[in-house]
Chain A
Amino acid sequence: MSLLRTEGLQKHFGGISAVDDCSIAVEPGEILGLIGPNGSGKTSLLNILSGFLAPDAGSVWLGDEAVTGMTPVQLANRGLLRMFQMTRVFTRISAVDNMLTAGLARGLSEAEAERRCETLLDELTLSQVRYLDAGALSGGQKKLLEFGMCFIAPPKIALLDEPFAAVHPVMREAMAGFIRRRHGEGQTFILVSHDMPIIVDLCPRSVCMNAGRVIAQGATRTVLESPAVIEAYLGSSVGSSAHV
């Protein structure tokens, strides 16, 4: 059974169809790439999956439970966690308290939260800055801290929205390494990114959206070579363009 699946999702904003008849499935333990040009509906889909938007039609299933329209907190407590492109750490408490607060909120005991916090701080190379307020960390460190907050109580599935955007290459490799290690332990991800080399590297399977619709899905290389995907990113060929 798929870990997460959608059936016929639709979301309209006025006359604009942000998500149109979208059906996807994520299998346990996979990293699914979600790609598409700007305005293709990726973030709207992620917003619906994570409870920030209610769909106009269609359904979302987490395992065998219908979770359509649930709030972000209800979904987080069921193991579906979302990370935004902009970091959402708590800026006026320390890095370690950020992680402990997230762990305790998701039901870990204090001892377990502290143990996992230590391990993650080491793995994410944040031990040196553990007692600094999160607001004083660099942009890359905040992203790593957010990974720590997300994985202190490992979710069933993590939705990562542009985690590598505007991040130094060294930090980017640290994040990619973290994702690879969690994937090796069986963690499931949806990864939204415009960074195609990273998508090819991390995601065996991808879904491409354009104008709210799924235009291709399957093995990532096959998706990237699909004429529909190339046209979505680059437009129609010069010869067929009426504007040229």
Chain B
Amino acid sequence: MLALDLLVNGLIFGLFYALMAVGLAMIFGVLKVVNFAHGEFYMIGSYAYVLIALKLGIPPWLALPLAALTGGALGWLVERLLMRPLYAGHGSWSSSKDEYAVVVTFGLSLLLVNLVDKIVGPYPFRGPVLIETSRFSIGPVMLNGQKLIAAGVSLCLLIGLALFIKRSLWGRQIQAVAQNRLGASLAGIDATRTTSMVFVISGMMAALAGALLAPLINPGPDVGAFPAIKSYVIVVLGGMGSIWGGMAAALILGVCESFFAVYVSYAYRDAFGLMLLILVLLVRPQGMFGEKGREL
């Protein structure tokens, strides 16, 4: 019975991880660079949610989409101001894009953490809950209302995103740009606009993850660090840039962590993902769901 409890709670954490990691996977998919400021999208989302709800007195259910919009706006700005020189125009940085992206996104991460630290303060806030309930059990599974609501919203968003990517014209264009950026341009797909859209979606998803968890984690300026590291682990485990692989890897990591924390060591719970990453890479360097080899 304990196993069922661990499985359900692990899947719930996996959904939160997926919400965070899927944006990182999408950015890697379309630009083939790692966004080291992804954790700060999460941090900005949690702060936006808390400050909008507490300081402006706006109901939490309305603060949630506003936090997502804040993350989306940040994503749009980052792409427009910092990432576009990487690939747009004839004098772009594309020949050294990896170095450029590492320096720029790492710098942005430090900037955002320190800006929040100076402007809002270094002390953690506690976000308002979406629903006031105490812990309750369904059979052997112990849950709390906020966590369940957050998991439900995450699940709906991930299903919505999956349908959007698979079925919509824009989703097809994102897949096309991720699979062959040059080919997409030749087919008449505006890869620049598509990349911008991916950053907006990525910012919204990470910000929503931060907002949904704000009542559970008491966000401070460096709150994005751990979720970001887990997202990198998930993206590599899932197969770099694979959205579906990332979602599956997030759920697997959530469940494995949950069991590891109880049966092995709670103290090393956060290190477990890194251990799992090393083990998987030893056996499958392309990740659990990645393609073998690379296209030339």
List residues of A (86-106) whose CB comes within 8 Å of B's CBs.
Answer: 88-93, 97, 100-102, 104-106
* CB-contact partner of A73 in B175, B179, B191, under 8 A: B191
- CA A53 to CA B295, docked complex, whole Å: 24
A89 near B180: Cβ-Cβ < 8 Å: yes
Q: Is the CB of B283 closer than 8 A to any CB of chain A?
A: no
B175 near A76: Cβ-Cβ < 8 Å: no
Q: Is the CB of A34 closer than 8 A to any CB of chain B?
A: no
B182 near A106: Cβ-Cβ < 8 Å: no
A89 near B169: Cβ-Cβ < 8 Å: no
B183 near A90: Cβ-Cβ < 8 Å: yes
Q: Is the CB of A26 closer than 8 A to any CB of chain B?
A: no
| B residues less than 8 Å from A93 (CB atoms) | 172, 175-176, 179
Q: Is the CB of A22 closer than 8 A to any CB of chain B?
A: no
Q: Which residue of A lies closest to B91 (CB)?
A: A54
Could you mark each residue 60-74 of chain A with 1 if its beta carbon is under 8 Å from any beta carbon of chain B, else 0?
000000000101110
A76 near B188: Cβ-Cβ < 8 Å: yes
Q: Is the CB of B117 closer than 8 A to any CB of chain A?
A: no
B188 near A102: Cβ-Cβ < 8 Å: yes
The secondary structure that dominates the B interface is helix
List residues of B (173-224) whose CB comes within 8 Å of A's CBs.
Answer: 173, 175-176, 179-180, 182-192
Q: Is the CB of B118 closer than 8 A to any CB of chain A?
A: no
| A residues less than 8 Å from B183 (CB atoms) | 88-90
A73 near B190: Cβ-Cβ < 8 Å: yes
A88 near B175: Cβ-Cβ < 8 Å: no
B90 near A105: Cβ-Cβ < 8 Å: no
The answer to whether A105 and B180 touch (CB under 8 A), given A53-B90, A91-B295, is no
B186 near A92: Cβ-Cβ < 8 Å: no
B179 near A149: Cβ-Cβ < 8 Å: no
- CA A84 to CA B192, docked complex, whole Å: 20
Q: How far is the CB of B197 from chain A (nearest CB, A)?
A: 14
Q: Is the CB of A222 closer than 8 A to any CB of chain B?
A: no
- CA A53 to CA B172, docked complex, whole Å: 27
Interface residues on A, range: 20 to 34
* CB-contact partner of A101 in B173, B185, B191, B295, under 8 A: B173
* CB-contact partner of A88 in B90, B169, B186, B190, under 8 A: B186
A76 near B180: Cβ-Cβ < 8 Å: no
Q: Which residue of A lies closest to B296 (CB)?
A: A86
* CB-contact partner of B188 in A69, A77, A100, under 8 A: A77
| A residues less than 8 Å from B180 (CB atoms) | 88-91
A73 near B173: Cβ-Cβ < 8 Å: no
Q: Which residue of A lies closest to B175 (CB)?
A: A93
| B residues less than 8 Å from A130 (CB atoms) | none
The answer to whether A106 and B188 touch (CB under 8 A), given A89-B183, A91-B180, A93-B179, is yes
Instruction: Give the interface centre of B90, B184, B187, B295 by most chain A CB atoms within 10 Å.
Output: B187
- CA A84 to CA B181, docked complex, whole Å: 13
| A residues less than 8 Å from B187 (CB atoms) | 76, 101-102, 105-106, 149
Could you mark each residue 93-134 of chain A with 1 if its beta carbon is under 8 Å from any beta carbon of chain B, else 0?
100010011101110000000000000000000000000000
Q: Is the CB of A83 closer than 8 A to any CB of chain B?
A: yes
The answer to whether A73 and B90 touch (CB under 8 A), given A93-B175, A93-B179, A97-B172, is no
- CA A81 to CA B172, docked complex, whole Å: 20
Q: Is the CB of A156 closer than 8 A to any CB of chain B?
A: no
A90 near B176: Cβ-Cβ < 8 Å: yes
| A residues less than 8 Å from B295 (CB atoms) | 91
List residues of B (96-148) whose CB comes within 8 Å of A's CBs.
Answer: none
A73 near B172: Cβ-Cβ < 8 Å: no
* CB-contact partner of B186 in A54, A84, A91, A153, under 8 A: A84
B172 near A82: Cβ-Cβ < 8 Å: no
- CA A16 to CA B188, docked complex, whole Å: 31
A104 near B185: Cβ-Cβ < 8 Å: no
- CA A157 to CA B172, docked complex, whole Å: 25
Q: How far is the CB of B24 from chain A (nearest CB, A)?
A: 19
| B residues less than 8 Å from A83 (CB atoms) | 186
Q: Which residue of A lies closest to B88 (CB)?
A: A71
B169 near A54: Cβ-Cβ < 8 Å: no
The answer to whether A76 and B186 touch (CB under 8 A), given A91-B295, A97-B172, A101-B172, is yes
- CA A73 to CA B89, docked complex, whole Å: 12
Q: Which residue of B lies closest to A78 (CB)?
A: B188
Q: How far is the CB of A44 from chain B (nearest CB, A)?
A: 13
The answer to whether A92 and B175 touch (CB under 8 A), given A72-B186, A105-B188, is yes
- CA A72 to CA B179, docked complex, whole Å: 17
A104 near B186: Cβ-Cβ < 8 Å: no
Could you mark each residue 192-211 of chain A with 1 if its beta carbon is under 8 Å from any beta carbon of chain B, else 0?
00000000000000000000
Using A88-B180, A90-B180, A101-B187 as known contacts, list a sample of 5 further A-B pairs with CB atoms less than 8 Å apart, ordered by residue number in A: A73-B192, A76-B188, A104-B172, A105-B169, A149-B187
Q: List 12 A-B contacts (CB under 8 A).
A: A72-B185, A76-B185, A76-B187, A77-B188, A84-B186, A88-B180, A88-B182, A88-B186, A91-B180, A101-B173, A105-B176, A105-B187
